[in-house]
């Protein structure tokens, strides 16, 4: 089969990790007899440098014309002085919205080979955990009404959290369907003891849960959820939550797995086109030094094959190769923990994975 993939390398370590992933995808295509065509487009700080804005129309059009999008990371200190609506991060929100990607899947699982990298004690982690965070991605406070106005104490800035039943239902459905293919548990996370939007969220999720009698449904306040994630992560299977709570909880979940450098994500909409990216950022401190861990992006590439192209054997092959390389003890700097020895570079790690493939 033949697929067109838009590449948004972005800033910092973005170009290195995306190039690594392209190499792995090309090897996979060769092995299974497919053809992937890659076209790069600018996004984030590099787009500001080249065109003055973080998300040029050409990038949006290129992504819309592609079968899927692979993204590295955006942002860095160089663009910190940009006004809010021209920051590199604004491009991420813009592209998610332009492509209608209302679902963000963020799996957080513990790799047995990396057990010692998790900050959690053995008795908490046991034989590991496997959580799927389903984050709403195109609504809520990220996209709500915002601005400046005169308030009680003078000028104030405000952002608004708003959710409609339609938005809650469509993300809820993704969570329940996902749970049906996993351990059939959904925990919806909100702040319904305080927020009106959360009360509608909870009511809507409850109603939806009745259509999925096989799924064990529960809900939890977000502050408690933040605590439960480190107290007993094994209790969770699928978590569904709003844009901002999902942003925060997915960073927390990534830390308990030991390395944010390992975690992939998929952003999906109503069709098959998705955007795939590591959940970590652009790590400007190590950019261009060939030190970055490419695994999160490589695993995002595998998610693309599985979710957008329906190539699950191919996705399995990449995931197995990553596992084998880790089992053999190969580590990039971020995965070294207290281990001795020289870490692999980004290129060396990529080549190990390609060798196994
Ligand atoms: C993420 C990031 C983004 C977000 C930022 C960079 C806009 O933190 O993908 O989790 O908050 O969605
Ligand atoms: Mg985040």
For residue 167, CA distances in Å to 2, 12, 170 come to: 33, 33, 5
∠ CA 304-318-43, rounded to 5° = 40
d(CA 337, CA 357): 26
Q: Which residues contact 309 (CB under 8 A, 6 or more apart)?
A: 1, 3, 67, 68, 272
What is the reported pLDDT for 127?
A: 84
- 113 pLDDT higher than 90: no
Q: What is the mean pLDDT of residues 194-206?
A: 98
Give the atom of ligand 1 at the shortest distance from the alpha carbon of 243.
12
Nearest CA residue ID for atom 4, ligand 1: 247
Span 121-256 CATH architecture: 3-Layer(aba) Sandwich (3.40)
Q: Which residues contact 142 (CB under 8 A, 6 or more apart)?
A: 93, 243, 244
Question: Cα of 110 to ligand 1 centre, how many Å?
Answer: 22
Question: Cα of 250 to ligand 2 centre, how many Å?
Answer: 7
**Confidence bin at 38 (pLDDT 50/70/90):** very high
- 211 pLDDT higher than 80: yes
- Binding site membership of 89 for ligand 1 (Cβ less than 6 Å): yes
Q: State pLDDT tens for residues 215-272.
A: 999 999 999 999 999 999 999 999 999 999 999 999 999 889 987 788 999 999 999 9
Span 1-118+265-357 CATH architecture: 3-Layer(aba) Sandwich (3.40)
- Binding site membership of 216 for ligand 1 (Cβ less than 6 Å): no
Q: What is the mean pLDDT of residues 9-21?
A: 98
Question: Cα of 247 to ligand 1 centre, how many Å?
Answer: 6
Domain ranges of the chain: 1-118+265-357, 121-256
Nearest CA residue ID for atom 11, ligand 1: 247
Question: Cα of 247 to ligand 2 centre, how many Å?
Answer: 4
Average pLDDT, the chain: 96
What is the reported pLDDT for 112?
A: 81
- 196 pLDDT higher than 80: yes
What is the reported pLDDT for 249?
A: 96
∠ CA 65-267-20, rounded to 5° = 75
Ligand nearest to the CA of 277: 1
Catalytically annotated residues: 142, 191, 223, 247, 251
Q: What is the mean pLDDT of residues 44-48?
A: 97
- 337 pLDDT higher than 80: no
**Confidence bin at 76 (pLDDT 50/70/90):** very high
* Best mutation site among 247, 296, 297 for ligand 1 pocket (most ligand atoms within 8 Å of CB): 247
Q: What is the mean pLDDT of residues 28-44?
A: 98
d(CA 18, CA 41): 12
Is residue 243 within 8 A of residue 67, CB to CB? The reply is: no
Domains 1-118+265-357 and 121-256 share a fold: yes
CB neighbours (10 Å) of residue 350? 26
Q: Tell me the Cα Rg of the chain.
A: 20
Q: State pLDDT tens for residues 276-334.
A: 999 899 999 999 999 999 999 999 999 999 999 999 999 999 999 999 999 999 999 98
Nearest to 27 by CA among 305, 276, 308, 290: 305
- 338 pLDDT higher than 80: no
**Confidence bin at 117 (pLDDT 50/70/90):** confident
**Confidence bin at 168 (pLDDT 50/70/90):** very high
Give the atom of ligand 1 at the shortest distance from the alpha carbon of 93.
7
What is the reported pLDDT for 131?
A: 96
- Binding site membership of 141 for ligand 1 (Cβ less than 6 Å): no
Place of tokens 């991060």: 89
**Confidence bin at 44 (pLDDT 50/70/90):** very high
- 336 vs 63, higher pLDDT: 63
Task: Please tell me the least confidently modeled range out of 71-80, 109-118, 193-202, 266-275.
Answer: 109-118
Question: Cα of 248 to ligand 1 centre, how many Å?
Answer: 9
Neighbours of ion ligand 2 (CB under 5 A): 247
* Best mutation site among 55, 82, 89 for ligand 1 pocket (most ligand atoms within 8 Å of CB): 89
Give the atom of ligand 1 at the shortest distance from the alpha carbon of 251.
10
Question: Cα of 5 to ligand 1 centre, how many Å?
Answer: 22
Nearest CA residue ID for atom 7, ligand 1: 89
Q: What is the mean pLDDT of residues 335-346?
A: 86
- Binding site membership of 132 for ligand 1 (Cβ less than 6 Å): no
By percentage, how much of the chain surpasses pLDDT 90? 90
- Binding site membership of 252 for ligand 1 (Cβ less than 6 Å): no
Ligand nearest to the CA of 248: 2
């Amino acid at each position: 089969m033949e697929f067109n993939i838009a590449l948004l390398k972005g800033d910092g370590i973005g170009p290195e990790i995306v190039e690594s992933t392209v190499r792995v995808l090309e090897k996979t295509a060769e092995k299974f007899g497919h053809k992937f065509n890659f076209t790069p487009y600018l996004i984030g700080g590099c787009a500001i440098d080249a065109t003055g804005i973080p998300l040029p129309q050409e990038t949006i059009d290129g992504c819309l014309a592609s079968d899927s999008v692979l993204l590295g990371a955006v942002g860095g200190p160089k663009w910190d002085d940009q006004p809010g609506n021209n920051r590199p991060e604004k491009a991420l929100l813009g592209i998610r919205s332009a492509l209608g990607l209302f679902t963000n899947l963020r799996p957080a699982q513990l790799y047995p080979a990396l057990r010692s990298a998790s900050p959690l004690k053995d008795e908490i982690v046991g034989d590991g955990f496997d959580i799927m965070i389903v984050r709403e991605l195109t609504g809520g406070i990220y996209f709500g009404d915002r601005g400046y106005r005169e308030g009680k104490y003078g000028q104030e800035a405000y952002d608004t959290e708003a959710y409609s039943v339609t938005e809650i239902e469509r993300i809820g459905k993704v969570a329940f369907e996902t749970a049906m293919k996993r351990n059939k548990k959904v925990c919806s996370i909100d702040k319904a003891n305080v927020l009106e939007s959360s009360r509608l969220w909870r009511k809507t999720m409850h109603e939806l849960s009745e259509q999925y009698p096989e799924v064990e449904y529960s809900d939890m306040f977000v502050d408690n959820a933040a605590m439960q994630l480190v107290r007993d992560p094994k209790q969770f299977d699928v978590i569904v939550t709003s844009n901002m709570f999902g942003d925060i909880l997915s960073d927390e979940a990534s830390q308990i797995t030991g390395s944010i450098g390992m975690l992939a994500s998929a952003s999906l909409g109503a069709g098959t086109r998705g955007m795939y990216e590591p959940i970590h950022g652009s790590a400007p401190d190590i950019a261009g030094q060939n030190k970055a861990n490419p695994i999160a992006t490589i695993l995002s590439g595998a998610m693309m094959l599985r979710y957008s192209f329906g190539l699950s054997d191919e996705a399995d092959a990449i995931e197995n190769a990553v596992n084998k390389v880790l089992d053999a003890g190969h580590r990039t700097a971020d995965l070294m923990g207290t281990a001795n020895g020289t870490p692999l570079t980004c290129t060396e790690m990529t080549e190990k994975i390609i060798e196994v493939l």
